[in-house]
Chains A and B, each alone.
Chain A
C-alpha cells in the first residue's frame, strides 16, 4: 500500500504556512504533486474543477451566446452536439450551455465565499474555545449544538424565507450554520494538540498564548480544516442549487443551476435537456470536488475521517 510513506511524510507538505524557505517549499511541492499523481481520480477531479473555474471566470468569452438572449422562434431546441446550441435551448429559446457557464459563476462563488467565511469564523471561535475552555467554550458549544439540531436545508429555507432571496442573503444564510462544523473540528483538534508536550514546552520557554495558538497549534490543525473545507464546499454548492430550485436562492434574472432545473421540470416530458443539463453540471462539479477532498484527506491527514 501507499499508506506508509504518506504517514511518514505527512509533516512536510505544501500547506506549511510557517515555512519561509522557498527551496524547501518547492521540494515539498514536488513531493506533494508526485503523491497526488498516485490518486488519478483526484487529478481528474482537479482538472474538471479547473475547467469550471476557467469557464466561470471568462464566461463572457467562453459562452457562445449571451445567457439571457430570448429567441422565441427557437424554443426547446434539442441538443445538437455540433450545432449552434450544443446543449439545446429552453422554453424561451435561451442557450442552455451559456446559461450553465454563467450559472457556474454563482455556484462557485457561493461555495467559495460561504466556505471561507465558515472556515474563518469556525476555526477562530473553535480555536479560542478549545484552547481557553471556560464559560466562552460552554456558551459557544451550546449555541453550536443548538444550530446543529436543525437540518441544514430546513434551516436555510427558513432563513431565506425570512430575509428574502439575494446573493448576499444566501451567503449569510448558509454561513450562519456552516461555521459550526469547523468550530467543532477546530475545537476538538486544539484540545487534543494542547495536551501534547510541545505546547507545554513552548510555555516553559515563555511563549505567550497568542503565539502558541498561531505558530505552534494552528500549523498542526490546518490540514484537517482544509480537508473538511474542501468536502463541505460541495455541500454548499448543492445547498445553493436546492435553494435556487425552490426560488429562495438567487433572484431569477441571474442564471443559476437550481433555478434552471426548476424552470425545466414542467417541460420534462417533452424536453428532458432543460433540467438534465444543469443537473449534470452540478453533479459533475460536486463529484469532482469530493474526489479532490477525499484525496486531500488521504494525502494530508490519514487520521481524519469525515463521514
Chain B
C-alpha cells in the first residue's frame, strides 16, 4: 500500500542539521461509521503514506486539489489530529512519541496559520488577548512585558499597536490574517505551517500577505510548509514543492525544476492550468476529465490512472513507487521521466 523511500526507512535520523522536519510514511485514515450499530464500514484514506523532508530556512510547498489530504497532513504533523501511522521528526525529535508535556514545549517551535481568518480568531477575545495568548500559555511574558511584545508583534505584521484593544470583527480579511500571523510568530517558532493562508483573501490582498510571509522568513529565519491548492501561489513562495494526489505524493522537486519541466502527468496538468498573463503565448491546456476519485475507495494501481492521458495497462495494476532520481528529485510514475 505504502510507498516508502529506501533512504528513509532506516533508524531515526538524529539531528542531521540540514533537515528541520522529516515526515516518514505518514498515514491518516478516518474511519467511516455506518450500519445500525455504527460499526466501521470503511476508511477514508486521507493521507496514505507520505514522506518528505523540509530543510532549514526553506519553504516547502504542498500542493494538490481539494480533498487530496494536504491539510490533513499538516494537521497530523502538528498532532492536531492523531496520525494513523508514520513518523515525524522535528529537529531529530520523534514528535509522535512525545508526552503531552513535551509536546506542549514543542508547540513553541512549530506553529500554524489557518486558511479562514474569520474562523481562526476567537470572536470574543481582543486582538491583544489573541496574540498574547501563546505568551501566557507558555509563561513567556505577562503583564506589561506581554503588552509590549504584543505591540511589537503587531508592528512586525504591519498593524497598529493600538489595534490590540479591538476585536477581530473590526478588521478586514487581510488584517485578520496578519493577526493570525502575529499569533503564530509570538513564540519565535522555527517552523510555521501555512495552511492555504491566502486562498480566502482577495487577489489584491494575497500578494501583500505573501510578501509579508516572505519578509518574516528572512527576518526570523523561519521555515515554512506552504499548503495551497493552486500552483500559481506555490510558484511565488516555494523553494521545493511536493505535489499530492489522493493522499499520496506524486512528485517532489525544486520549484524551478518542477515549473520548468514537470515529470508527473498530474503536475503537468496542474501547471497548464496556471494562467499566463500574456495573450500572445499559446499553450496547450490539459483539462483533467472528471472528478478526483473518492479517497474512501481509491483506484487500484496508480491513483491517477483514471484521469491520466498517458494511461497504460501497467498503471491500472501496479502502483508506482515514489522514486528518487538524480539531484534529489522524486516522482511516482512508471514511465516518467
Interface residues of A (CB under 8 A from B): 8, 11-12, 16, 18, 24, 196-198, 200-207, 211, 216, 219-220
Residue pair B133, A220 in contact (C-beta under 8 Å): no
Residue in A197, A207, A219, A220 whose CB lies within 8 Å of B114:
A197
Known: A11-B169, A16-B124, A197-B114. A204 touches B133 (CB 8 A): no
Within 110-156 of B, Cβ neighbours of A (below 8 Å) are at: 111-112, 114-116, 119-125, 133-134, 137-138
Interface residues of B (CB under 8 A from A): 75, 78, 80, 103-104, 107-108, 111-112, 114-116, 119-125, 133-134, 137-138, 165, 167, 169, 180, 183, 187
Residue pair B122, A220 in contact (C-beta under 8 Å): yes
Residue pair A198, B134 in contact (C-beta under 8 Å): no
Known: A197-B120, A219-B122. 4 other contacts (CB 8 A): A201-B121, A201-B183, A204-B107, A220-B124
Q: Which A residues are CB-close (under 8 A) to B125?
A: 18
Q: Which A residues are CB-close (under 8 A) to B187?
A: 205
A18 vs chain B, min Cβ distance (A): 6
Residue pair B137, A206 in contact (C-beta under 8 Å): yes
Give the number of A-B contacts (CB < 8 Å): 64
List 22 contacting pairs A-B, 8 Å CB cutoff, sorted by A.
A11-B167, A16-B124, A197-B116, A197-B119, A198-B119, A198-B120, A198-B121, A198-B122, A198-B123, A200-B80, A200-B120, A201-B183, A204-B111, A205-B107, A205-B111, A205-B137, A206-B104, A206-B107, A207-B133, A207-B137, A211-B137, A220-B123
Q: Which B residues are CB-close (under 8 A) to A207?
A: 133, 137
**Chain B interface, DSSP helix/strand/loop, else mixed:** loop
Nearest A residue to B104 via CB reads A206
B195 vs chain A, min Cβ distance (A): 9
Residue pair B107, A11 in contact (C-beta under 8 Å): no
Residue pair B80, A219 in contact (C-beta under 8 Å): no
A174 vs chain B, min Cβ distance (A): 32
Residue pair A201, B123 in contact (C-beta under 8 Å): no
Bound-complex Cα distance A216 to B123 (A): 9
Bound-complex Cα distance A207 to B112 (A): 14
Bound-complex Cα distance A196 to B111 (A): 17
Bound-complex Cα distance A211 to B134 (A): 13
Residue pair B112, A216 in contact (C-beta under 8 Å): no
Residue pair A204, B112 in contact (C-beta under 8 Å): yes
Residue pair A204, B104 in contact (C-beta under 8 Å): no
Bound-complex Cα distance A18 to B78 (A): 28
Residue pair A201, B169 in contact (C-beta under 8 Å): no
A284 vs chain B, min Cβ distance (A): 36
